[in-house]
A and B are shown apart, each in its own frame.
Chain A
């Protein structure tokens, strides 16, 4: 009997063996305690909170109503536009960088590696400042095409490209080496094999992580305000911040938050579904 009982340090002068709980009983007890703690915390928060004040601060319907329709027609639209522009730019550049990292020409590999390491190590805000102010100061006679749109596209796209390059490179390397060999033995050139055999299969692998990248970019577009956006180019965060200043009430932040979630939640749901499908296909 004794060797079956696990050593319990707290059980000095232990209760006789027959009083020990069975495995199932113990499980039930542990779970019960967890529910109890949860309910206690929720009740404490609910009772301690000043609901009236909170509602007054964050859920002023009149203020929320006043933000429409501009918050959707202008701010949300710009947020989406900035996201898509930066994503397209980052994807194109990331693709080139990924292929450079896998190139047999060593200097290409060095440049691509240096780029990725550099831009993964810099804050997106710093890069955005550089594109928005550093470059115009250096080349005052030239202008980044597209104004704020162009600057955000490049400023956020440069950073995104570094991350996407790594994702795409991993995707290409995840395609079995035999695929390239089979294509080459059929007489296809390296380039054709890459385009028609490797990349399509690599992209299946990287669609979920690239969708995650869109989610990250959506949130990063909130940095666009540092470029001094106008009424036409304003995005969600700056828009709600302006209303917050006017009305001295944080309700606009809640509205903006909900609108961000309206973009990001469906996307992350999509990622989950794509990952499930990919797992099934394997």
Chain B
């Protein structure tokens, strides 16, 4: 059984078709990085996996449950899916500890002591046990994102979704978040990561998926997709991302005709 199984997924926002027929499987224990230009639909794809966006067509199974079934209890499935956002989305009126315990208590019905224990365990895991009583606004972006990861982990998820987890961070804070994610990979967590961090993808991904224009263009081991891409679109994207200073004015005009 796959952790995630996506079949013929379409998603439109009004007249704009953002996803145009996606098929993707993620096995348990696998780390899949989704890359692609902005507007390619990669975040929408990720958000469909826990139904933050309602697919227009197609089916999605997560951990064996068809979440696209209208009768599916999505709250129950979401407990098993961790999600980390670009903007962290910590609860600003709660302390770090309360951020980690509130859903454990309300959703998993854990006792206060149990929830606290799990919270501290996971804060320790991201190296922020000392900040348990701080408020999110008192933390740096990198620390907030690590707390957000710990908050997801405290629910004991079977798989984790990351939506550009380092894109909102100052460059010097990216490393600490990636280090925490690397730790998760080492622990065998199933992960689907939308990212612009090519070196991270190359290092930890079992598979890299390149998306453009709402379709999967290319997919395979990082060495192939990032090292020797078969598709011209992939090559072009990587060229722009990896060597932004090399892009010439002629190229810009060639791809964005006035």
Interface on A for B, CB 8 Å cutoff?
176, 178-179, 181-189, 192, 196-197, 200-201, 204, 281
Contacts and interface: CB of A to CB of B under 8 A. Distances in A.
B75 interface: yes
Contact of A196 (B87, B92, B102, B152): B102
Nearest to A181: B52
A176 B137 contact: no
Interface in B76-116: 76, 78-79, 81-83, 85, 87, 89-93, 102-103, 106-108
Contacts of A187: 75-76, 78-79, 103, 107-108, 155
A171 to B, nearest CB: 13
A25 to B, nearest CB: 48
B52 A188 contact: no
Contacts of A186: 78-79, 102-103, 107, 151-152, 155
Contacts of B68: none
Given A184-B75, A201-B91, 18 more contacts: A176-B87, A178-B85, A179-B89, A181-B52, A182-B83, A182-B89, A183-B103, A184-B52, A185-B52, A185-B81, A187-B78, A187-B79, A187-B108, A188-B107, A189-B75, A192-B106, A201-B93, A281-B137
Contacts of B87: 176, 178
Contacts of A176: 87, 89
A201 B92 contact: yes
B50 interface: yes
B75 A188 contact: yes
Contacts of A188: 75, 103, 106-107
A196 B106 contact: yes
A134 to B, nearest CB: 43
B83 to A, nearest CB: 4
Contact of A185 (B50, B91, B93): B50
B139 to A, nearest CB: 14
Interface string B45-81: 0000010100000000000000000000001101101
Query: Which residue among A185, A196, A200 has the maximum number of chain B CB atoms within 10 Å of its CB?
Result: A185
Contact of B83 (A185, A196, A281): A185
Nearest to A177: B89
A192 B76 CA distance: 14
Nearest to B85: A178
A185 B155 CA distance: 10
Query: Which residue among A184, A186, A200 has the maximum number of chain B CB atoms within 10 Å of its CB?
Result: A186
In the A-B complex, the 9 residue pairs with the smallest Cβ-Cβ separation, listed nearest first, are: A186-B103, A182-B89, A187-B79, A178-B89, A185-B83, A187-B107, A187-B78, A200-B93, A201-B93
